[in-house]
Copies of this chain bind each other. A is one copy, B any other.
């Protein structure tokens, strides 16, 4: 029996891709089941082509993730630019941060990759610029402006990472919903010694069933209040 070894490209119908189709399908996989679902094999199957072809468009998986991230940030940037200006830079900053956060709520996989490599992520850089431009209207020096934007981005990413950590996988399967997952945690907290954990007992009812968006908004509000104070506005 003849060995058909090392005869690549024989038999199968060829398929032609494009950077855009690669990223679109990559994002689709990420949306469906997060980062673990984005494998070169799964992506190739979805594109109807071979695994190695993808390497013509991206050098490695890291670049694939960076480009996929920037791909969706492009749409978010468009949303941000459509936001009406209120005249108050801090109000505008809040609106932009909320828009950005909403996007990450929709796509929890975004969190860890957002703003990771502005060389590749051109839209992320534009987003950074857009946020920073608001600080130009505040009475701050360059360093304060730099730190202010870093702080706002930090709040967004910090909350996003906190949220984005996949619940062991029962939730992804749909076997257990988020509510129950949180509830189990809360129950474990309630059973702690109240003398040793007074604070945890104080807030456990707030934690149980809490809304991530509320949590984020509060954190953002604290930062913005501090910023307003700093700018004397």
Interface residues of A (CB under 8 A from B): 112, 115-116, 118-119, 125, 128-129, 132-133, 135-136, 142-151, 153-159, 161-162, 165, 185, 188-189, 196-200, 202-203, 205-207, 210, 214-215, 218-219, 221-227, 229-230
Contact = CB atoms under 8 A, between A and B. Distances in A.
A158 B112 CA distance: 10
A199 to B, nearest CB: 3
This chain's copy number in the assembly: 2
A221 B197 CA distance: 27
B165 A203 contact: no
Given A112-B161, A221-B226, A230-B222, A202 B145 contact: yes
A128 B188 contact: no
Nearest to A157: B158
17 contacts: A112-B161, A118-B188, A132-B200, A136-B202, A144-B218, A147-B214, A147-B215, A147-B218, A149-B199, A149-B203, A154-B162, A155-B219, A158-B159, A158-B161, A222-B223, A223-B226, A225-B226
